[in-house]
């Protein structure tokens, strides 16, 4: 690879990070801004620099390099218990809605383009049916949705790719003349899902045992980086669902992460946060950069007819999601199976979940993976691209307004979390003090009594700080609470310590290695102040 080619790869990645940094600084939704920048850049390059570099989206790269780590990271951050609580809703969305949307789009496209084979139309439906894990979670997480709603959206986006990709493979096989029946399709789906679950579970159990025995955070996190790729490739090698395999490994290990060493948890959080950020910004920029390639295959088509097709498919996806979500929510209410919420609030939640159906890079990768010579391949690519762009921009840009207008908020969840945290910290501090009393029951040397007092003060301060956070760090009289005052003063002290250490290093009184070691201890203490 020569220097020019390396720069072609580095420049868009660096640009994506810069755009995402600007979005974070200004409080804008980074995924949407990246898509817009990609669209603008691709239009400028194709119009004014037709011989310039092209950034074609390679489906193998997306499905093997981008998708596994992004799914795994999202699964690690999920909650097995909460997913189990909403398993019915997740199943209805990730299986039922995907198949329903695929069928609706297939019927619509057959009506619009009668010459298109039914299998090709259903392939398009399967491609655009699943909301993307990256898009849905990246956009929805910013808006403080209630926890149950976020869990449903996360669970749907984790599991729906398995349904869609299985249906897609069946449709592509049928279009290639390999034959198709509902029985064959159901059998392939059950095998892919079942085998993917088993492979993921076995790999997760083996990995969990290794993590419990190996306490070196560098080793465990290196293995963790390889796990999503191992799970995906192992499942795909036997024609099972690599997506489900990765998700199972992530959910299982995330549920047991509290049992591994603290070093593994600290490093894992930082590693996956950085990797997530980089992969997400590159993915969203790549989506926008596909415009020239999509338009290239549609040279002789009527642009107005293409626009009508694109609007119709977009509308079908939005309406199908709303109809399915409303039906599966209200029918149990009408039958008397569930009466937990008033219809008005239920309708608000239905609307928000229905409007959160952003498509993403998985749909584009599946469309680009269609074999050359596939019936109406260029048209399918175009309709997939417009569906992805339409849902990302139209729904993504209006999502905050929908959430605000409907008054859907997770503020109650935040308050309950703070209350539960305070109670948990109190219980933990009580247990710690009881253990301290037990260990010092026989007394300690008088010269060491200060150590016991410091430990007791630390436990009591941690418990008190959790209760004080319920008031936002301000007491009833409006004054700063003791814990808030402690954090503010201690941070200032730590900054003064760092300045002295750096000055001593610059004066060659200590080595850089000494500086790093001491600074690391200060960093850990400051990190603990963020939660104390």
- Give the chain's domains with CATH numbers: 58-286+308-409 (1.20.1530.20), 414-529 (no CATH)
Bridge partners of residue 480, in order along the sequence: 474
Condensed to tens digits (0 to 9), the pLDDT of residues 366-419 reads 888 888 888 888 899 999 999 999 998 898 888 888 888 887 766 666 666 666
Binned at pLDDT 50, 70 and 90, residue 187 comes out as confident
Q: Given a cut of 90, is residue 162 above it in pLDDT? A: no
Binned at pLDDT 50, 70 and 90, residue 165 comes out as confident
How high is the mean pLDDT of the chain? 81
Backbone torsions φ then ψ of 376, nearest 5 degrees: 55, 40
pTM of the model: 0.81
| 178-193: average pLDDT | 76
Give the closest residue to 158 by CA, choosing from 242, 237, 236, 235: 242
Q: How far is 378 from 436, CA to CA, in rounded Å? A: 71
Condensed to tens digits (0 to 9), the pLDDT of residues 250-276 reads 999 988 887 787 778 878 888 998 998
Q: Given a cut of 80, is residue 20 above it in pLDDT? A: yes
| Packing angle, helices 217-237 and 242-255, rounded to 10 | 150
| 484-508: average pLDDT | 81
Burial class (CB in 10 A: 0-12, 13-18, 19+), 54: middle
Q: Look at 513 and 242; give whichever has higher pLDDT.
A: 242
Please report the pLDDT score of residue 478 as a whole number: 54
Q: Given a cut of 60, is residue 106 above it in pLDDT? A: yes
Binned at pLDDT 50, 70 and 90, residue 473 comes out as low
Q: Given a cut of 60, is residue 219 above it in pLDDT? A: yes
Condensed to tens digits (0 to 9), the pLDDT of residues 319-336 reads 999 999 999 887 765 444
């Amino acid at each position: 690879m020569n220097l020019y080619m390396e720069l072609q790869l580095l420049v868009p990645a660096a640009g994506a990070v810069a755009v995402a940094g600007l979005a974070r600084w200004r409080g804008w939704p980074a995924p949407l801004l990246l898509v817009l920048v990609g669209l603008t850049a691709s239009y400028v390059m194709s119009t004014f620099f037709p011989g310039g570099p092209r950034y074609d989206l390679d489906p193998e790269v997306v499905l093997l390099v981008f998708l596994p780590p992004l799914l795994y990271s999202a699964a690690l951050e999920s909650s097995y218990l909460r997913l189990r609580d909403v398993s019915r809703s997740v199943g209805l969305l990730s299986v039922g809605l995907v198949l329903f949307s695929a069928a609706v789009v297939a019927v619509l496209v057959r009506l619009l383009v009668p010459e298109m084979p039914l299998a090709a139309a259903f392939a398009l439906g399967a491609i655009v049916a699943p909301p993307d894990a990256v898009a849905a979670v990246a956009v929805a997480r910013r808006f403080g949705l209630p926890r149950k709603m976020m869990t449903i959206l996360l669970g749907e986006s984790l599991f729906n790719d398995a349904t869609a990709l299985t249906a897609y493979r069946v449709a592509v096989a049928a279009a290639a003349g390999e034959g198709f029946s509902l029985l064959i399709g159901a059998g392939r789906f059950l095998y892919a899902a079942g085998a993917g679950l088993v492979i993921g579970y076995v790999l997760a159990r083996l990995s969990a045992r290794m993590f419990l025995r190996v306490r070196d955070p560098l080793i465990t996190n290196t293995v963790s980086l390889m796990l999503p790729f191992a799970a995906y490739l192992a499942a795909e090698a036997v024609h099972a669902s690599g997506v489900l395999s990765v998700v199972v490994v992530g959910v299982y290990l995330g549920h047991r992460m509290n049992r591994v060493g603290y070093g593994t948890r600290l490093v894992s959080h930082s590693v996956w946060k950085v990797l997530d950020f980089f992969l997400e910004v590159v993915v969203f920029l790549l989506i926008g950069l596909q415009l020239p390639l999509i338009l290239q295959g549609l040279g002789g088509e009527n642009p107005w007819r293409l626009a009508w097709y694109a609007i119709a498919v977009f509308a079908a996806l939005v309406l199908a999601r709303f109809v399915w979500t409303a039906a599966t929510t209200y029918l149990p209410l009408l039958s008397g199976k569930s009466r937990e919420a008033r219809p008005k609030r239920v309708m608000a939640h239905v609307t928000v979940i229905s409007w959160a159906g952003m498509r993403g890079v998985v749909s584009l990768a599946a469309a680009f993976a269609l074999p050359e010579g596939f019936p109406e391949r260029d048209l399918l690519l175009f309709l997939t691209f417009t569906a992805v762009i339409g849902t990302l921009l139209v729904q993504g840009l209006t999502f905050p307004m929908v959430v605000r207008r409907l008054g859907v908020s997770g503020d109650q969840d935040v308050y309950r979390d703070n209350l539960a945290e305070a109670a948990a910290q109190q219980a933990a501090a009580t247990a710690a003090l009881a253990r301290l009393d037990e260990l010092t029951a026989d007394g300690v040397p008088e010269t060491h009594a200060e150590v016991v007092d410091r430990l007791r003060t630390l436990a009591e301060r941690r418990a008190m700080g959790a209760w004080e956070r319920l008031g936002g760090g301000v007491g009833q009289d409006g004054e700063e609470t003791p814990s808030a005052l402690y954090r503010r003063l201690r941070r200032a002290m730590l900054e003064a310590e760092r300045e002295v250490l750096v000055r001593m290093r610059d004066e060659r009184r200590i080595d850089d290695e000494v500086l790093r070691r001491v600074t690391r201890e200060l960093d850990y203490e400051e990190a603990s102040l963020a939660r104390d």
